[in-house]
Amino acid sequence: MKIIDLGVCIDNNDPKGLGRIRCIGYDDYVSGKENYKKYTPYDENDPFVALPFLPNNINFIPEVNQTVKVLRYNTEKTTVNQEYIAGPFTTRYDYSSQTFSQQIAPTTFGVGVKKKKDIIKNGSLPPDCANTLAKNTDYAISGKYGSDVLMTEGGLVLRGGKLLSKQSASAPERERLADFPISSKKVAKLQLKKFPEKRISKIDIVKKTTYENANLKYIIEYNLDSLTSPQIVSFFVYKIQEGTYGDLFKTNTFTEFTDTSTLPVVLLNSDNTTTTPTLTVDMSTMVGFNDFGVDGKITLICSEIRTKLLKIKEDGFVGLFNADVNKKFSNPEELTNIYPFFFRPTTSFRTTQTSDTTVLERKDAVLSNIRLAKGVVQSGLVWSAIQFKAPSFTKEEEVEKLIKDSSSREQTFGSVVADKLYLLSTDTNFTNKSIDFEKLDGYEYTQENYLNLIDPNTYGVVRGEILLEFLRSMFNVMLTHTHNINKPYARTDYEAHNTMAELYNKLESELLNKSVRIN
């Protein structure tokens, strides 16, 4: 006879409250045993009774129809000599919803049973499941769906509701919940932690350089017709349409790699297409150009690109375009009011793909030789006719730093996190509100208990810093008031009064923390 076997729970309602269950062997039938001898369910002759193998202080009773592992310590007797362990399970976070077929999937009994999906790939959970399972380096006790206790190095975390509730999940989320532990943004937690050294906050004054930030007006891109027989240099000038685009076209954020293919930019050219260059230069008309080899031609082309970009930097678009392109500008001032602008290679040129290494080397040679100034290579910002970088200014800022405090070797923290926190005392506290604790659920406070019986009979906790700020303001008013006390003091243009009035008007919303309540 097997020492350990699989069984199926058929009854988990132990009249003695000992956590016993009635279970049938995986290969047995209830009818085959129930007439073996007379018995009453859960008495000493009941052939189906199994005691919990785990200590009685650990409560893990399987659901009816769930699989259990049955251990028999006296195989010669068939009653009162077997114990059970709930399982096996194919989950660490959702035990009660496990079906018999799911439970036996990883065993030899589960042939033909659909296997659950892998939830960890490359050592990590999917982003929407992050932090739902205990790390392998920690110890943990997993409870029912969404609850656990984590025992970390020097720490303890008690979590309730770490997983997205099945009742509030959308249809696609419910389908995914069948295989993945989706984390919830609403988690109630009690956290205790000790760190090996004490740290305190210190304010340092640091100097920070900040650059001015403005909207770009133009984007200028350059391109070559070929890297095997180069001849034509093309310039594409894009005007950025007026509008609000957030940080997209800001000088501090726009880069060579910003994609503008679907953005509100207009290519300036003579035929109003999205492909014709704004300006082309036929290098073959240059005296002696065709006498050079490919590398020599590329050197001349780089020089031409640099020359054109530097001319635009200094003079704007004056004298650069033909009459058809000039018509795009309503007045001569627009030809010079072009700053700031950004220059870069076209995406097609920058991302040239080929197996010919010589061609790729030539492309890199072009990009590395478009050098307009120190540190301005291949692409960059032109802030004005006289400078590339945006103007900068230095200001002092307060920076909070954590430093080691040698007065103590260790430091401990404790926190309770939830949407609403209640600090409740069952002793009389002489307030006008009282909680009838006898009406509260004695096992676990329900949502109705919190909202109907506790919340209305508690008070919001005061934020001490806000109260102190208001009291200081009142003190300042009294200290600076110089009028006759029998008359109202003048309030117009009285800065101390204005500050006090502003604080008073928002006192309730800022002073009371209505989510942390006491009785």
d(CA 147, CA 26): 30
131-165 pLDDT, tens digit each = 999 988 999 999 889 999 999 999 999 999 999 99
The predicted pLDDT at position 519 comes to 65
Q: Confirm or reject CATH 2.40.50 for domain 4-110, answering yes or no.
A: yes
pLDDT over threshold 60, residue 1: no
Residue 146, class by beta-carbon neighbours within 10 Å (0-12 exposed, 13-18 middle, 19+ buried)?
A: buried
Residue 487 in this model has a pLDDT that exceeds 80? no
Least Cα distance to 190 among 157, 217, 164 occurs for 157
Q: Is the per-residue pLDDT at 96 higher than 80?
A: yes
**What would the pLDDT profile of 223-234 be if each residue is shown by its tens digit?**
999 999 999 999
Give whole-number Cα distances, 364 to 76, 290, 361, 378, in Å: 84, 22, 5, 10
**Both tokens assigned to 300:** 């001349």
For 243-271, what is each residue's pLDDT tens digit? 778 888 999 999 999 998 887 899 999 89
At residue 320, does pLDDT exceed 70?
Answer: yes
429 pLDDT higher than 70 = no
For residues 378 and 407, which has the higher predicted lDDT (pLDDT)? 378
For the chain, which residues make up each domain, given as ranges? 4-110, 127-195, 218-382, 420-519
Report the range out of 62-66, 101-105, 462-466 with the highest average pLDDT: 62-66
Q: Select the more confidently predicted residue: 390 or 123.
A: 390
